[in-house]
Every structure is written in C-alpha cells, then in structure tokens.
Amino acid sequence: MWGYVRLELIRTMRDGGYVIFGIVMPVVMYLVFTNLGLAPGDRHDAAIYTMVSMAAYGALGGAFNNGSGIAEDRAAGWLRQLRLTPLTPAQVVAGKVVTGVAGVVPSIAAVLLTGLLVNHVTLPPQRWLAIVVLLWAGTVPFSLLGLGNGYRLSGQSAAMANIATMLTLAILGGLWVPVENFPSWLRAIAEWTPSNSYAGLSWRIAFGDVPTVRQVVILSAWLLVFAVYAVYGYRRAGRRA
Amino acid sequence: MIYWGLRCPPTVVPMTAKSPDAVSLTSATKHFGPVRAVDGLTLAIPRGQTVALLGPNGAGKSTTIALLLGLLPPDSGRAALFGLDPEQAVRQGLVGAMPQEGGLIPRVTVRELLAFVSGTYAAPLPLDRVLALARIGDLRDRRVDRLSGGQAQRVRFAMAVCGDPGLIVLDEPTAALDVEARREFWDGMRGLASQGKTILFSTHYLDEADEHADRVVVLGHGRVIADGTSAEIKRAVALTTVSVTADGESAWLATLPGVRHMEIRGGRVHLRSGDSDATVMALARAGAVRGLEVVPADLEDAFVALTAKENA
C-alpha cells in the first residue's frame, strides 16, 4: 500500500491544479490580503486570522483535488488496473485516503510558514501545534465530500463540481472575507457551513479561546453526512466498474 | 444450438488438488439487460497453453475475460483460476492482465509506474528484464502520458507481465497497433510462452490466432462454437476451395462429390469442398478441369463458416 501512496503523492506534486489551488493561490492571497490592509483590525491580529483562513482554504483545495483525481483515475481505467494487481480494494481506498490526508500538509505548511517568516506571526508553541493539528484533521470531511464527487461523477464534471464546491465553501465559510462582514441573513447561513466551523476551531485557538461546542458539533455532523455520501458514491462506482 | 467442439470441454472441471487448470469457466452466464453477453460458457485451459479467444465484435470476448478475472460476477456458473476464486488468485499475484484499453495514468514515468505495479507482487521480475521483454528500455524515464499508441501498448503489456504471474490475460493486445508494432509485440510474447506461462489472449485478427496460439477457441454469441488447434478448426469445417474457369452452364458443378457451396465470381467457379480429392477427380472425369486451383482454407474461411452455421 505504501508503494501506492508514494506513487499517488508523486502524481499529486506534479499536478498543476493541486499546486495552484492548494499551495500558490492561498499563499498569494494571504500576502495580498494582509499587506493591502484588507483584513480588519490590528495588523498582527489580521496576519493571524488570515493565516488560518488561507491555510484552511489551501487545505480545502488539496482535499477536493484528491477527490477529482479519483474520477480521473476511473476514466483512465486505472481503478480497474488496480483491481488486477494483488492490492486489495481496502488497501486502494485506504491508500487514497492517506494520500488525501498527506496531500493537504504542504498547503497548510506553506501558508503557516509564510505567516511565520513573512508576516512575523508570533504565537505560543502549543497554539501553533493545536492549529496545525486542527487544520490537518479537520480536512477529513472535505476529503470525503471530494471522494464522493469523484466516485459519483465522471472525470470532467467531478473536477468542476469539486472546484465549485470548494470555492463556495471557502467563500461562504468566511475564508476569504470574514463572516462578520456578511449581511446578517448570509452570516446565519455561513455559520452552518462545515468550512466556517472548520476554520473557526483554529481561529478560536489562535486568539487564545477554546473552540465552541457548536463548531465541533456542526463539523462532526457534516463529517457523518459526507462519509455516508462517499460510501454511497463508492458503492455506485463499484457497480459500474 | 450446433456445437462445433472438437475437444468437448468437460462438463465437470477436474479439480485435482495437485494442478488445477489455470483457467476454468463452468457454465458461466452474464446478461446486460436483455443481452446475453456470455451464454453458458464452459472453458478449461491447462497450465502452459497459449490460447486465442477468437470472435467478431460482440461475440463476448471481453465479457468472458472480465468474468474469469473476477472484474464482473457471473449471473450463474462459476469462474476459477488455478482452482481459486479469481479475486483470490489475483490477490496472490498469480495473474497479470491487460484490459482492452486504459490503465495508464498521467504524471508518472514508465519506470515509476512499473516499479509500483511490480511492488504489489511478491516475486516480481527485475525491472530491467521487464523493460527488455516489453522493448521499452529507451522509454523508462518518459512520462506515461507522452507516449505514442504503440509505446503505450508496450507499457501496458509490461504492467501485465512485471509481477511474473503464471497466467497472463490480454484483451485484444494488438488492436490499434500498426503492422510493425504488432510484429514487435508478438516477438515479446513468444519469449514468455517459452517460459511455460499460461497465456490467454483475445483477438479478431485471425492470422494472430493462427500464428501465435496452441489452441483457438472461437466464440459467437457468448458461446464456444469451436475449440481446437487452428489446423483442427480448418479441418473441421473442411473448406478447401477448388476453383476452375467457368464454361457455359455451371450449376451442375454444385452436385459434384464433396462440394458444399458454390460461387461464381469473375468467370471463375469457386467450389468449397469437404473432400477436395473427390471433387477434383469428378471434375477431371467430367472434363471440366480448366485453370484448376486448389487452395486450403485459411482460418478466416473457417471462421466465417463457423459463425454462419451458428447464425443459421
């Protein structure tokens, strides 16, 4: 299985879509937002807040891109080729999940390092650690949603659906513009999104608060929904293969 | 149904613990909606044979291969490889397969791809051997998505053989290849067959079945309609063509001994005969030998005759 993960990671790193949406854009947007004074309040606070937003945005890009890869693989007959190797189906699925989980690391690392080195963000070590862990682990629901789309839709439409979903969740979740600046009706919707809860966990930590129960519950609920969706997509894909 | 089997496949597949057949399909059936793609097909391939699965498009070749590889479950009947459930045999690394299309992914090199596939098998061939076998040594560092059709086909072949499996299944391996690429492909295959591998390949190129297989299994409408060496199949349909130059009223020639079918084309009478000696003797007695030509059937004639019988 590790050979499979290795192969998939090689492919991911050579994927222009992943590098652009998952790494370059979040870093560029982070630098633009923080250095043009578009984020509200104190400059250091803005650097911290936007760092979390953009790391979350990049992680979303990486997680959804992994799902699009599944659809591409199916169209290329690669999933069938894998079934003809000694790898078990469980190893293949697990390998893809591990790839997705590993694939978001560069996105998160790139933005956090930019925050640390370029925007001189200073945080206590335990907060850094908590943010890294929460940003990383919190991508699982989005990976599952991306995989579900990848299994359920064909190549091109899966990629389109994943990009559209990713951008919608990023904007609506307040990753580009804080939800505090939204009209109140939109803000009410935003606070039910998985992306807002996901980034919210780390925003709270970054400013020395504890994540709210509401955020944890909402993200967990979406995790369940997307897991069911991914399993449903996988079963459907299996019947057609 | 007319069964043209030359070697009747056993109705009960012998399952001795010692050496079960490499491939065994027993009364396998697969429907797609109202279409019976595979219709009660029974086929046993002992180890070490090179078998061609021959048939026109829609004969059920690819579905048969999908059933025996465990990619599709049969509606009824069963498939086994080396006495095991197909999926189990694949997990144990006993099988290498090349589906009709696909299986190549973008953004990896030939070497990276083959190293991965080899790594999933317990005892793969050394990479250099695989590259030599598939004649892709010069392509090792090329991206898989930047290969020509013929090069890609050789890489797909390399994926099927790199794990050193005992059974190699190739679904139309030379479709979409030009003559030169086909020849190179079969050069590589010959090396494998000589190592005692069991090889099953499907094709609609009759000359390939004739030239490269120990045994030819002809499929039509999801059933085995003939099974034997290519010589046996030609003999079974007994179609030597005896032709003479037509001279006036020729219909009576169809009644000569051995003649099964007559056709007049371009002033020539072509007689398909089951007993060409008798036909020629009768022609001689009747004084009708003008521009005599006797041509033994090729596999294509046999194939056309077999599928025509099947459709009748």
Which pLDDT band holds residue B277 (cuts at 50, 70, 90)?
confident
Question: Which residues of chain B have a CB within 8 Å of the CB of A80?
Answer: 71, 99, 102-103
Distance CA B114, CA B91 (A): 18
Is B112 in Cβ contact with A81 (below 8 Å)? no
Q: Who contacts A20 (Cβ-Cβ below 8 Å, separation ≥6)?
A: none
- CB-nearest partner of B107 from A6, A11, A81: A11
Separation in Å, CA A189 to CA A146, B71, B102, B120: 21, 45, 44, 47
**Minimum distance, in Å, between the CA of residue B173 and any CA atom of chain A:** 15
Tell the burial category of B72 from Cβ atoms under 10 Å away from its Cβ (0-12, 13-18, 19+).
buried
Distance CA B292, CA A46 (A): 98
Touching check for B59 and chain A: CB below 8 Å? no
Amino acid at A144: L
Distance CA B213, CA B207 (A): 10
Structure tokens given for B22: 């490499």
Residue B140 — φ and ψ, nearest 5°?
A: -55, -35
Is B112 in Cβ contact with A10 (below 8 Å)? yes
Touching check for B294 and chain A: CB below 8 Å? no
**Minimum distance, in Å, between the CA of residue B107 and any CA atom of chain A:** 5
Q: Dump pLDDT digits (tens) for B192-225.
A: 778 889 999 998 877 788 888 999 999 988 999 8
Mutate: best of A78, A81, A91, A240, partner B, most B CBs <10 A: A81
Question: What local confidence, expressed as pLDDT, does residue B200 receive?
Answer: 96
Question: What is the rounded average pLDDT for all residues in chain B?
Answer: 85
Question: What local confidence, expressed as pLDDT, does residue B46 receive?
Answer: 95
Is A84 in Cβ contact with B95 (below 8 Å)? yes
Would you list which residues of chain A are within 8 Å, Cβ to Cβ, of chain B?
A: 3-4, 6-7, 10-11, 14-15, 72-73, 76-78, 80-81, 83-88, 241
**Minimum distance, in Å, between the CA of residue B108 and any CA atom of chain A:** 6
Q: How many C-beta atoms lie closer than 10 Å to residue A96's C-beta?
A: 23
**Minimum distance, in Å, between the CA of residue B127 and any CA atom of chain A:** 15
Looking at residue B248, the DSSP 8-state letter turns out to be: S
**How big is chain A, counted in residues?**
241
Mutate: best of B92, B107, B157, partner A, most A CBs <10 A: B107
Mode of pairing for the β-strands spanning B95-98 and B76-81: unpaired
Mutate: best of B65, B82, B120, partner A, most A CBs <10 A: B120
Which residue is associated with the tokens 């449903």?
A232
In this prediction, what percent of chain B has a pLDDT beyond 90?
44
Mutate: best of B109, B117, B156, partner A, most A CBs <10 A: B117
Question: What is the rounded average pLDDT for all residues in chain A?
Answer: 90
The answer on pLDDT for A241 being more than 70 is no
Question: What local confidence, expressed as pLDDT, does residue A37 receive?
Answer: 64
Is A78 in Cβ contact with B91 (below 8 Å)? no
The pLDDT of A169-192, averaged and rounded, is 94
Q: Dump pLDDT digits (tens) for B238-268.
A: 678 888 888 778 888 888 888 888 888 888 9
The answer on pLDDT for A137 being more than 90 is yes
Which pLDDT band holds residue B5 (cuts at 50, 70, 90)?
very low
The pLDDT of B6-13, averaged and rounded, is 41
Which residue is associated with the tokens 């629901």?
A141
Distance CA A136, CA B182 (A): 50
Is A3 in Cβ contact with B115 (below 8 Å)? yes
Question: What local confidence, expressed as pLDDT, does residue B225 receive?
Answer: 87
Find the DSSP H helices in B28-148.
61-68, 86-91, 110-119, 127-133
**Minimum distance, in Å, between the CA of residue B211 and any CA atom of chain A:** 28
Q: Dump pLDDT digits (tens) for A64-100.
A: 988 888 888 888 889 889 999 999 888 887 888 888 8
pTM of the model: 0.80
B176 compared with B187, residue with greater pLDDT: B187
- What residues form DSSP beta bridges with B204? none
Question: Which residues of chain A have a CB within 8 Å of the CB of B105?
Answer: 11, 73, 76, 78
Q: Who contacts B82 (Cβ-Cβ below 8 Å, separation ≥6)?
A: B20, B21, B22, B89, B94, B166, B167
Question: What local confidence, expressed as pLDDT, does residue A38 receive?
Answer: 59
Question: Which residues of chain A have a CB within 8 Å of the CB of B107?
Answer: 10-11, 14-15
**How big is chain B, counted in residues?**
312
Tell the burial category of A159 from Cβ atoms under 10 Å away from its Cβ (0-12, 13-18, 19+).
buried
Separation in Å, CA A23 to CA A58, A108, A128: 6, 8, 19
- What residues form DSSP beta bridges with B264? B269
Tell the burial category of B19 from Cβ atoms under 10 Å away from its Cβ (0-12, 13-18, 19+).
exposed
Which of A51, A164, A160, A161 is CA-nearest to residue A107?
A51
Is A87 in Cβ contact with B112 (below 8 Å)? no
